Chain A
C-alpha cells in the first residue's frame, strides 16, 4: 500500500488535513508522524503548518525534520501548505527574520497594514476566500477551473525569485504568489483541506501525481 506522510512538528491542527487526505486517497495509508525514518519511507509527503515561522523552523530542526524535508525534496512528491509553503523559501521576515529551508529561491514578506483612511481597508491577516489564477499548467490543476476560490489565513506571503516557479497568483493589496511549484515540489498558501470540493480535488491530484 502506498503511503502519504504528513509531517507533524507539533504546530497546529492536522486533523482536517489528515481526514481530507484519507478521503481522497482511500487506497493509500495516511501517516501523521514526526519520526524522520517513518516519513522517509513514505511515497509522498505533506508539510503543513500554522503559527509563526521561528517556532516552526525551531521545531523542524529540533526534531531533525528539516534534514528529512531537504532529503525527501529530491526524491518524492512533496506538498507544502500555508506556513509549510513559506518555509520552503529561503528566508522569512516574520519574527525579526528567520532563515528557512530554501527549496525555492526567494523570501517571505508581510502584507502592508491598511491605511486608516482607505476606502476599503484590507486587513491583515488576509482571511477568507479568494480566487487563484493559474499561472501555468500543472497536473494538480486537473479538474480545477481557473480563478477558483480557495480559503486563506495568513499575514505573510511568498515572493519567489524565479517567476517560472509561480503556479498560481491571487490579489490582496497586490498580486502575490498563492501557489508555487518546481520539479516534484508543489505548495499552496491557501488551505485545500478547508476549500470544499475543489480543495479536495487538488489534494486528490497531489496524491495521484507522479512527476
Chain B
C-alpha cells in the first residue's frame, strides 16, 4: 500500500542552501547537492527546493542548482519560488525538476495553473497555499490565503481556494500555515483536515514542525498525504530515518 511521504524542504538563495527564521537572519547551510545527497541517503521520499533569491537576475543560478541536484539524486524533486509563467515551468522541468510549485502567480492568474497543467501534465503542478486563520473565537474556523510570505492578504477563503485550484488543474497541494511557520508549535491540523475533506489530490502538510509528534499529527489527524519539514532536519535534531522509525512505531505506513 501507498506510503505517507516525508519531504525535507530546502531554501535556496543564489545557489546555496540557507536557513533563517521567516527569511530573516539567513545563514549559509551548505551546497545543495551535498545537502540533497544527505537527505537522499537518510531515506527522504522527495525533496522540495524553494528559491528565495530576491532578484530574478539570479534565475540561471537556480537552474544550474536544479540541474546539479537532478544529476545526482534519483527521487522526485519539486522546485518553487517565483514560478510565474509556462516558460518558467518549462525551464525548471528541463533543468530536471519533476514538479513545480506555483504560489503567488496562481492567485494573480488562476488560468496559469490550468494552462501549465494542460501543457505539462497535472502531475507536475503543485499549488502552494499560504493560509492564516482569520476566524475569531467562537466563530466557525476560517482561513485566508496570503501571498508574499504571509504579508499580503488576498481575501480568498483558503479551503474554497484549494478546491478551486484542484478544479483548475493542480495535481497536488502544498498547504502552509503562516500562523505556525517557524514557530515549532506543530502543523495547523484543522486547516489540513478542512482542505483534505474538499479535495481528491494529495495534500502536503507544511509549517510549524518542531517535533516528530508534529509529523504524526499532520499525517494522522490532518490526514495529509505527505509531511514537509525544514528546521528539524537541517539542524540535525532528527534524521529523516528517525522520523520514519517514529512514525512507523505510531502505526503510520512509511517507506523504509
Listed in ascending order, the chain A residues whose CB lies under 8 Å from chain B are: 11-13, 15-16, 19-20, 50-52, 113-114, 121-131, 149, 151-154, 171-172, 193-197, 199-200
Contact pick for B70, options A19, A52, A131, CB 8 Å: A19
For B226, give the chain A residue with the smallest CB separation: A128
CA of A155 to CA of B54, assembled, Å: 37
Q: Say yes or no for B82: interface residue by CB 8 A criterion.
A: no
Contact pick for A123, options B45, B96, B98, B200, CB 8 Å: B200
10 additional A-B pairs beyond A122-B2, A127-B225, A131-B1, beta carbons within 8 Å, are A13-B120, A15-B96, A121-B200, A125-B171, A126-B2, A128-B2, A128-B4, A128-B5, A128-B202, A172-B1
Q: Say yes or no for B93: interface residue by CB 8 A criterion.
A: yes
Let me know if A123 and B202 touch, CB within 8 A. Answer: yes
Indicate whether A127 sits within 8 Å of B74 (C-beta atoms), given known contacts A12-B120, A50-B123: no
Contact pick for A15, options B2, B4, B94, B120, CB 8 Å: B94
Q: Report 7 cross-chain contacts, Cβ distance below 8 Å, ordered by A residue.
A: A113-B200, A114-B200, A122-B2, A123-B201, A125-B123, A128-B202, A199-B74
Q: Which residues of B205-237 are within 8 A (CB) of A?
A: 223, 225-226
Let me know if B200 and A128 touch, CB within 8 A. Answer: no
The 9 closest A-B pairs by CB, nearest first: A129-B255, A51-B121, A149-B255, A153-B123, A13-B93, A129-B3, A50-B121, A15-B96, A130-B2
Q: How many residues from B make CB contacts under 8 Å with A?
A: 31
CA of A209 to CA of B223, assembled, Å: 42
CA of A115 to CA of B78, assembled, Å: 29
User: Residues of A contacting B225 with CB < 8 Å?
Assistant: 123, 127-128
Give the total number of A-B pairs whose CB atoms are below 8 A apart: 89
User: Residues of A contacting B94 with CB < 8 Å?
Assistant: 13, 15
Let me know if A125 and B75 touch, CB within 8 A. Answer: no
User: Residues of A contacting B150 with CB < 8 Å?
Assistant: none
User: Residues of B contacting A20 with CB < 8 Å?
Assistant: 74
User: Residues of B contacting A199 with CB < 8 Å?
Assistant: 74
User: What 0/1 pattern do residues 27 to 69 of B give for CB contact below 8 A with A?
Assistant: 0000000000000100001000000000000000000000000
CA of A122 to CA of B5, assembled, Å: 14
User: Residues of A contacting B238 with CB < 8 Å?
Assistant: none
User: Residues of B contacting A130 with CB < 8 Å?
Assistant: 1-3
Q: Say yes or no for B172: interface residue by CB 8 A criterion.
A: yes
User: Residues of A contacting B76 with CB < 8 Å?
Assistant: 151, 194
For A15, give the chain B residue with the smallest CB separation: B96
User: Residues of A contacting B202 with CB < 8 Å?
Assistant: 123, 125, 127-128
State how many angstroms separate the Cβ of B45 from the closest Cβ of chain A: 6
State how many angstroms separate the Cβ of B10 from the closest Cβ of chain A: 18
Q: Say yes or no for B250: interface residue by CB 8 A criterion.
A: no
Let me know if B172 and A15 touch, CB within 8 A. Answer: no
Let me know if B171 and A16 touch, CB within 8 A. Answer: no
CA of A193 to CA of B98, assembled, Å: 11
CA of A17 to CA of B37, assembled, Å: 18
Q: Say yes or no for B167: interface residue by CB 8 A criterion.
A: no
Let me know if A13 and B74 touch, CB within 8 A. Answer: no
Let me know if A129 and B121 touch, CB within 8 A. Answer: no
Let me know if A16 and B98 touch, CB within 8 A. Answer: yes
Q: Say yes or no for B22: interface residue by CB 8 A criterion.
A: no
